[in-house]
Amino acid sequence: MNKPVRLVDVAMRAGVGVGTASRVINHHPSVKEDKRRRVLEAIEEMDYQLNGIARSLKANRTKTIGVLIPDIANEFYADVVRGMEDLASPEGYTYILNSTDSDTDKEKQSISIMREKQVDGIMMMSHTVAPEMLEYIQNNNLPAVLVASSLRHPTIASVSINNRAAAYDAVAYLIALGHTRVAMVSGPARDQSGGVDRLNGYRDAMGEHGLPVLENYVQMGTDYTYRTGYEKMKRLLMLEHPPTGVFLAGDYMAIGGLKAADELGIRVPEHVAVVGFDNLAVSEYYAPSLTTVNQPRYQMGQEAMRLLFCQIHGETPKEVSVVLPHQLLRRQSSEKLK
């Protein structure tokens, strides 16, 4: 195991001072051409690899972003992260990822570790952002962005869609198709990642069209999984007076719902129309394809990174909260009633 080559070693070999060698690798203009070449040659010959840790210590920045995420194995969040990455990589930034399962304790621990590793900024995604987290971010003056959260904070930046309006659109569409018995499978009761807003959007649409929101037509899930959608949908379809249209607050749930209908021999969209939320890739390929609300998650990631960069570079961004447009995608699972 041979000692790693340091910049002093390079400088010595090139016959210059460390300062000069440092200036060369940092593209500082005031280095004469011949010395520059000698240093670059030495770097080549010695296979020098800069030590980013030492650089970070002196520069007091790491070019690393900390990303808190409920679960990396969830397509929604993974796409957001990919959007962040594709913007951050060209700038030389990397990121540390942590799956927190939206658990506040894990989130606190993650943030603590990220601070210890001196990340330059933090991306927060969570179903429930604890107030202490926001306080912590504010107190420590940490560059941070809340992503896909419906939380609004006077100073902490956030990126999301208008979940309430999006849900409204989905339900209004079902109503426009002629459905009056419209049910909903929602996410957890106090979900801050848009779940509550979606439920309100459903209520808005029903109310505005003079339709009653029946007690047992609102099924609250404990999460957004296939299984939950499957179970809640079965419950709805086995009611004495089942709904003819169902809005599920997430595509994983909606697909679980389609599966449930299939098992019960209930045809979609002939017997029941189904609308999801998120527009996951599989939704287009399910049979029947799933009508759903698109969340531009890749762009959400990019927009969030843009906001974070603004904070890191000390610029004031144009706005604190960015709301991106959603889009209702009409597919087979909700075709017009005859």
Partner DNA sequence: GCCGAATTTGGAATCGATTCCAAAAGGATG
Partner DNA sequence: CATCCTTTTGGAATCGATTCCAAATTCGGC
Min dist CB 138 to a second copy, Å, is 14
Min dist CB 181 to a second copy, Å, is 23
Min dist CB 27 to DNA, Å, is 10
Between 55 and 234, whose beta carbon lies closer to DNA?
55
Between 52 and 325, whose beta carbon lies closer to a second copy?
52
- Is the previous residue joined to 288 through a cis bond, with omega within 30 degrees of 0? yes
Residue 26 interface partner, choices a second copy, DNA, none, CB cut-off 5-8 Å depending on type: DNA
Q: Which residues bind DNA (CB under 7 A)?
A: 3-4, 6-8, 15-20, 22-23, 25-26, 29-32, 34-35, 48, 50-51, 54-55, 57-60
Residue 284 interface partner, choices a second copy, DNA, none, CB cut-off 5-8 Å depending on type: a second copy
Question: Which three-class secondary structure string do you get for the chain?
Answer: CCCCCCHHHHHHHHCCCHHHHHHHHCCCCCCCHHHHHHHHHHHHHHCCCCCHHHHHHHHCCCCEEEEEECCCCCHHHHHHHHHHHHHHHHHCCEEEEEECCCCHHHHHHHHHHHHHCCCCEEEECCCCCCHHHHHHHHHCCCCEEEECCCCCCCCCEEEEECHHHHHHHHHHHHHHCCCCCEEEEECCCCCCCCHHHHHHHHHHHHHHCCCCCCHHHEEECCCCCHHHHHHHHHHHHCCCCCCCEEEECCHHHHHHHHHHHHHCCCCCCCCCEEECCECCHHHHHCCCCCEEEECCHHHHHHHHHHHHHHHHCCCCCCCCEEEECCEEECCHHHCCCC
Q: Strands 327-329 and 292-294, how do they pair?
A: antiparallel
Between 98 and 321, whose beta carbon lies closer to a second copy?
98
Between 26 and 51, whose beta carbon lies closer to a second copy?
51
Between 9 and 169, whose beta carbon lies closer to a second copy?
9
Quote the CA–CA distance of 168 and 35 in Å, as a whole number.
67
Between 17 and 212, whose beta carbon lies closer to DNA?
17
Residue 301 interface partner, choices DNA, a second copy, none, CB cut-off 5-8 Å depending on type: none
Between 134 and 266, whose beta carbon lies closer to a second copy?
266
Burial class (CB in 10 A: 0-12, 13-18, 19+), 272: buried
Counted residue by residue, the chain has a size of 338
Quote the CA–CA distance of 56 and 58 in Å, as a whole number.
5
Quote the CA–CA distance of 204 and 54 in Å, as a whole number.
56
Residue 15 interface partner, choices DNA, a second copy, none, CB cut-off 5-8 Å depending on type: DNA
Residue 17 interface partner, choices DNA, a second copy, none, CB cut-off 5-8 Å depending on type: DNA
Q: Which residues bind a second copy (CB under 8 A)?
A: 1, 49-54, 56-57, 62, 64, 71-75, 78-79, 81-82, 85-86, 89, 92, 94-99, 113-118, 141, 226, 230, 255-256, 258-259, 262-263, 281-282, 284-287, 289
Min dist CB 109 to a second copy, Å, is 9
Min dist CB 321 to DNA, Å, is 33
Min dist CB 56 to DNA, Å, is 8
Min dist CB 208 to a second copy, Å, is 33
Between 250 and 256, whose beta carbon lies closer to a second copy?
256
Min dist CB 92 to a second copy, Å, is 8
